[in-house]
Structure 1
């Protein structure tokens, strides 16, 4: 039997690669003659770098940039070959993430994305021209102004004074200029890996939906939303792009909108990007059985997550697909529209802390995968 394993990470327990290897071991214990391919997956967030390095021989690079509070941080990005060109994958959280800000200092009124722009600039100076930018886990709500400042855009307040890159520059923007933007940006392509569909501003926008978890007060949120609304108008005049009409423009505090308007970025599903780049579709064509999964299979899995996205490809090619998870929702009707069957890997009662231990998760995946394969062998020819 030919089996492809394409799981996301089991967050807090195992990376996608380690989870896939555990499932592979369980399958081979059940059928030593099985042909098994592990294709680590991710949705642009945690685990994406490891998956790219594994599948495409990616290489990590590090650069010192400014963090959300304009204090130095060492941020990594990954370079990998794809379609004849080197591509750069940057997680915005590496330079602008919430985890980089001490809890007592968290407020989007004082944080910015300048460091992300510095990462992009460093990669451009290194000769790279193709970028995939992952949005998620940000500490910021600056509409991407900080990132744009690092790339040469200039922003001015109502008095016509140049705005500095300290604090949240969005709060002061009244106009902008692209006169001194890096010329190399015209040679670059940018793809955004994000499954967030929120607009730039408004009740479902960047400020009202995400700013509170970044430390904003209700008054802060009102102000941030007003400033995003004003900045959207400025972007429309300067670039011709109505960011409010762009699905996902509110991702990472408005970074998505700034990237689409000023970097001409294309917004795509993170999981779809990974499937394309790792050649998973061809692997699925080859397989008799596809196994996917993640830490928790629930309604959130329907929102562009790895298991359901992989399942759509399996269905396209007429392949049976099984889902494994540490936790499964009891309401499975919608998920079963995509996955043929779903199994929890829990084999006995444990505390959550015990169940999420790496060694326990490995063992549970091995045992469950082996039992699943035994059942499948009854129905699927070897």
Structure 2
């Protein structure tokens, strides 16, 4: 039996690559004859760089940069392999400007910026990249990507032509944008935004109202951040005539989607579709008899642009079934129906029984392995092949 193992990361517990390896160990326990293809995935958030470098045989590069609150850190970008015609670098915003890089006590939703991600992209371009894939997700910021743009020389000025501070909180004072220090070559580098959300920049469904509370913003701060992003949209309209305020995906990563669309040569693509294309997902599904995927929580969001539904739809198009595992599993009938429609025929929770969250997180890889061993044994019983040897 050929089994494609194509999980996302289990957030705050294990990377997609670690989950795929745990799946493989479990499959071999349950069916020693099984062949496994490991294809760790990402929908554009955490793990994008490693997923694409792993899938294409590319290379990882360490860069000295800063986190969302300005502290020095080491982050990574990757160059894609497989002889791509362009020199494509992949960067995930979460690597430098991610929420997980900043402890809850140190988070500052008003001052947090994407400046470190800008330094990371600059390093990739300086190293020879002529195309960037930027994963939007997991950010600690709501600055509309202005910190990132600042790293390339863009200036964001108040009514007195003074530079405003970094961070989304300062955008309420933004009067105009100056690009006199930005080279045309930088502006013209193609940037593909891998994005799994369709939120606009502002309003009730915008970046501030939907995502900023997760980053520590109070109700008052949410309103100020939303006003600042609206101000940024007006400044970009004045700067080059681009209307980004209501564009789907503009609200991704604290409005970084909007800032990139407004200031750079950027386009948006659904993250999982982009990743599956670059990772040769269609060929992998054609090879497999069954696909096993997963993420930390199989819930109401899973059918819509997440890794499990993305790979399941691709597998379904080739007549291959998909099984999903997760740290938590919804049994809501409407969500289960939506999952079935994507091609996910069954879902399994990995928790062995009641336990506190800390213990469950610590045992994630072990529980993934045990769950996949049981799945492999079950598949072995139902397969129209020779019986499996006992593990």
TM superposition score normalised by structure 1: 0.90
Aligned to 1:361: 367
Compare 30-39 and 314-323 and name the one that shifted more.
30-39
CA contact (8 A) 2:110 2:167 kept: no
Compare 326-335 and 15-24 and name the one that shifted more.
15-24
Distance 1:166 1:339 in 2: 42
Distance 1:7 1:157 in 2: 46
Distance 1:205 1:361 in 2: 37
1:373 aligned onto 2:374:
no
Distance 1:363 1:381 in 2: 21
1:336 aligned onto 2:340:
yes
Change (3 A) 1:162 1:22: closer
Distance 2:38 2:297 in 1: 20
Aligned to 1:72: 72
Task: Give the drift of 1:146.
Answer: 1.7
Distance 1:259 1:162 in 2: 20
Aligned to 2:53: 53
Change (3 A) 1:264 1:354: same
What does the per-residue CA deviation read over 1:235-278, in whole Å, with 9 as the maximum and x for residues that have no partner? 12322221123101111221110111111211122211211111
Task: Give the drift of 1:297.
Answer: 1.8
Change (3 A) 1:204 1:119: same
Aligned to 1:202: 203
Specify every segment of 5 or more residues in structure 2 that has no aligned partner in the other structure, as ranges.
none
Distance 2:167 2:225 in 1: 16
Task: Give the drift of 1:43.
Answer: 1.5
Change (3 A) 1:371 1:184: same
Distance 1:277 1:30 in 2: 31
CA contact (8 A) 1:296 1:327 kept: yes
CA contact (8 A) 1:7 1:20 kept: yes
1:190 aligned onto 2:194:
no
Aligned to 1:281: 282
Aligned to 1:316: 317
Aligned to 1:245: 246
1:255 aligned onto 2:256:
yes
Distance 2:207 2:344 in 1: 36
Aligned to 2:4: 4
Distance 1:10 1:66 in 2: 25
Distance 1:371 1:280 in 2: 25
Cα RMSD of the aligned pairs, angstroms, is 2.7
CA contact (8 A) 2:53 2:81 kept: no
SS in 1 for 2:210: helix
Aligned to 2:93: 92
What does the per-residue CA deviation read over 1:33-88, in whole Å, with 9 as the maximum and x for residues that have no partner? 43332211121223333322322223222222233333333222222225233322
Task: Give the drift of 1:281.
Answer: 0.6
Change (3 A) 1:10 1:223: closer
Change (3 A) 1:219 1:231: same
Change (3 A) 1:62 1:346: closer
CA contact (8 A) 1:354 1:360 kept: no
What does the per-residue CA deviation read over 1:71-126, in whole Å, with 9 as the maximum and x for residues that have no partner? 33322222222523332221212222234445344332222222222222222222
SS in 2 for 1:327: strand
SS in 2 for 1:334: helix
